[in-house]
Amino acid sequence: MSREPDRSRRNYWTADSTLQRVVRRAYERADSANSGADERRSGGSAADSTRESDRFSIAEPYLRHYGRVVAETIADNADLIDDRGPTLHTYDRDGEVRNHVEYHPAQFENEQLTYGPDAGVVAYAFHAPPDGEEPLGLLHTLSMGALLSYADPGLYCPVSMTAGVALVLDRFDDGRLGEPFERLTTTEYDELVEGAMFLTEKQGGSDVGANETIARPIDRENGIYALEGEKWFCSNIDAEGALVLARRPDAPAGTAGLSLFLVGRTTADGELNDMLYRRLKDKLGTISVPTGEIELRGARGVLVGEAENGFKQMATMLNFERLANAAAAVGIIGRCLLESTAHASEREAFGETLDSFPLMKRDLVEMAVDHEAAATYTFEAATWLDRVHRDADDEHAFKLMRLLVPIAKLKTARMAVDTASYAMEIHGGNGYVNDFVTHRMLRDAQVLPIWEGSTNVLALDVLRALDRESAHEAFIPEIDDRLAVIETQAKPDGELTELATVVREAFVDLQGFLGSLAAEEPERAQLRAKELAEDVFAVVTATCLLEAALEATASGGHSPSRELLVASRFVRSTFDAAGAVGNAQDRSALDTFDSIVQYGQSQ
């Protein structure tokens, strides 16, 4: 049964002006030749910091088309699939290993609509679309993934992993895996293979260095090994292009001894690979992607890249998957906001619609600002990931990517859970039952803080990015330069200048925090890692929102612009400037409701 209400049967791309803005800006910044520090210090106009992106002009029609397809078809199919998820048939009737996953037929339609030439969610990240001259890059997969997650974050898991495996092969393969790469990135559904990564083992969990899977050489010349061991949490279990970490004989302990292998459900000759799909996990959500346990019993795998460099190579995929996780959170928050505003505008209580009441106005304003914050930060991080993908030698982009990506996943995952939970509350008892999509949005969101590293793991990775990659060397001048542009170009007596002063003070405090952490003993620094991640998220998001407000002002829009209202709400609520949000005199939620929640359109 469909849980898609008629009022929301629309185009998710055209309905989400926030996503449109942040994706456009991410492409412009990623493509701009004027985004370096020297150019920003020159004090050019706000418009000079970006240029119209040729890639975005090509990508936008695909986003528009896919936004409609997700709303009209994929959303209904996702509800059907959620009611009848994949079923594992480990053995056939004669007791022979079959390792077959049975899917609802709607799954195949959703996959065709996603991987096929009309969307090219994975393909066009690596190959130019028919109407373009260059690939659309990882921004394409991430922005399309946010749209897909409006309807089915579970399907976005194999889609993002397919792109992630292709990313690793594109970066590290020596040429022997050209055919799998082409099949991972094709738009021909009959030729397509999906990707996965099988890292987690029962005894290690997040401690990947404790992995015990062994890879024994069979044909060293062609890099073929037999893998033996158990993998405990394998999403997209039947993928034909799974990356697996294993240890060769005599390799050192820990992550330094792990190598990376490409392993398929079948071998090159079409026979079942020597493994056993033991069972599927009975999960709370993301039902559309089968997750299970695998026993590797000599499964054939091909060595990827350099031996004993597997974990570092896998980190390339892991960074992408963490940002894909954040893009999924953006989609879930966007869908919950859409459902909540629509419901509040229709549901009557005590003779008035719900969105007539001050508390509901305030709640919806906060939900809309959270959506802005999550989307803004995620696609700021995506800008730097995309630049690293296009130029692996861009050290500035790499340092920023390493710092921003784990924080994107850490913050937005929890925001998605909280937003989905409150969207359910807005719907009342209906929101708690399976007939309404908020039920599934909450179940699907709940895995986001777990996939690709828990909050604690991510917070510690932020410390590693600062310690090992010296990410602060790029981060501090980047934010300093961008705040300087805002301070230079904003009206001296305007609200934008006042907000920039607040953010500048918070940035100075953050630099002091970074300095104090550098002098701390490791244990004390780790205790403060979450607070550091929160502070970086706040300063980066605030800076980006102020830039959007400055751009809106420069373009001659109405005053105050929605961008300025959102920036003001975020900055004042985050940094508690003069207690302006939440005090007895604060009417901002009432005064800005139409502009922030309804984008200036009275309902």
Q: What is the DSSP string of 537-573?
A: HHHHHHHHHHHHHHHHHHTT--SS-HHHHHHHHHHHH
Decide if pLDDT at 35 tops 50: no
Average pLDDT over residues 321-327: 98
Question: What is the pLDDT, as a whole number, of residue 210?
Answer: 85
Looking at 38-42, 50-54, 490-494, 597-601, which range is the least confident one?
Answer: 38-42
Question: What is the pLDDT, as a whole number, of residue 207?
Answer: 81
In sequence order, the 6+-apart residues with CB closer than 8 A to the CB of 392 are: 171, 398
Query: Which parts of 186-309 fold into alpha helices (H)?
Result: none
Average pLDDT over residues 553-574: 87
For strand 87-91 and strand 348-349, is the pairing parallel, antiparallel, or unpaired?
Answer: unpaired
Decide if pLDDT at 410 tops 70: yes
Decide if pLDDT at 83 tops 70: yes
Looking at 126-130, 193-197, 341-345, which range is the least confident one?
Answer: 341-345
The Cα–Cα gap between 214 and 258 comes to 9
Decide if pLDDT at 36 tops 70: no
Helix axis angle for 138-148 and 153-172, nearest 10°, is: 170
**Domains with residue ranges and CATH for the chain:** 195-308 (2.40.110.20), 470-586 (no CATH)
> DSSP class of residue 252?
P
Average pLDDT over residues 216-240: 96
The pair phi, psi for residue 214, each rounded to 5°, is -110, 140
Looking at 79-93, 136-150, 202-216, which range is the least confident one?
Answer: 202-216
Decide if pLDDT at 213 tops 90: yes
Residues 145-172, buried b or exposed e (16+ Cβ, 10 A)? bbbbbbbbbbbbbbbbbbbbbbbbbbeb
The three-state secondary structure class of 247 is strand
Check the CA dihedral 571-53-144-235 and report its sign.
Answer: negative
Decide if pLDDT at 37 tops 70: no
Looking at 41-45, 518-522, 546-550, which range is the least confident one?
Answer: 41-45
Average pLDDT, the chain: 92
Q: Which residue has the tokens 């850490």?
A: 410
Tokens read off for 156: 């976005």
Question: What is the pLDDT, as a whole number, of residue 578?
Answer: 52
184: nearest Cα among 329, 317, 382: 317
Residue range 583-592, pLDDT digits in tens: 555 787 888 8
Question: What is the pLDDT, as a whole number, of residue 132?
Answer: 94
Decide if pLDDT at 440 tops 70: yes
Angle (CA) 508-509-514 rounded to 5° is: 95
538: nearest Cα among 373, 331, 365, 396: 373
The Cα–Cα gap between 144 and 62 comes to 9
Decide if pLDDT at 522 tops 80: yes
* pLDDT-based confidence at residue 576 (cuts at 50, 70, 90): confident
The pair phi, psi for residue 461, each rounded to 5°, is -70, -30
Q: Percent of the chain beyond pLDDT 70?
A: 92
Check the CA dihedral 511-516-519-521 and report its sign.
Answer: negative
Name the E strands within 237-334: 241-247, 258-263, 275-280, 291-303
The Cα–Cα gap between 382 and 405 comes to 8
Q: Percent of the chain beyond pLDDT 90?
A: 82
Question: What is the pLDDT, as a whole number, of residue 577?
Answer: 54
Q: Which residue has the tokens 């509901």?
A: 360
β partners of residue 299: 227
4: nearest Cα among 375, 478, 503, 439: 439
Decide if pLDDT at 6 tops 90: no
81: nearest Cα among 275, 273, 281, 289: 289
* pLDDT-based confidence at residue 47 (cuts at 50, 70, 90): very low
* CA distances to 392, 433, 529 from 354, in Å: 51, 20, 40
Decide if pLDDT at 503 tops 60: yes
The Cα–Cα gap between 231 and 513 comes to 40
Decide if pLDDT at 45 tops 80: no
Question: What is the pLDDT, as a whole number, of residue 112?
Answer: 98
Looking at 55-59, 349-353, 511-515, which range is the least confident one?
Answer: 349-353
Amino acid making up residue 555? S
331: nearest Cα among 58, 49, 63, 61: 63
Average pLDDT over residues 464-483: 97
Question: What is the pLDDT, as a whole number, of residue 558?
Answer: 60
Q: Rounding to the nearest 10 degrees, give the CA dihedral for residues 141, 323, 379, 170.
A: -50
Question: What is the pLDDT, as a whole number, of residue 206?
Answer: 74
* pLDDT-based confidence at residue 32 (cuts at 50, 70, 90): confident
pTM value surpassing 0.85: yes
Question: What is the pLDDT, as a whole number, of residue 46?
Answer: 43
Report yes or no: 421 and 427 within 8 Å, Cβ to Cβ: no
For strand 214-219 and strand 224-235, is the pairing parallel, antiparallel, or unpaired?
Answer: antiparallel
The Cα–Cα gap between 125 and 137 comes to 4
Report yes or no: 105 and 307 within 8 Å, Cβ to Cβ: no
Residue range 530-539, pLDDT digits in tens: 999 999 999 9
Between 32 and 23, the higher pLDDT residue? 23
Decide if pLDDT at 29 tops 70: yes
Question: What is the pLDDT, as a whole number, of residue 2?
Answer: 52
Amino acid making up residue 445? A
Cis peptide before 560 (omega within 30 of 0): yes
Looking at 166-180, 203-217, 240-254, 358-372, which range is the least confident one?
Answer: 203-217
Looking at 118-127, 264-273, 594-603, which range is the least confident one?
Answer: 594-603
Between 519 and 215, the higher pLDDT residue? 215
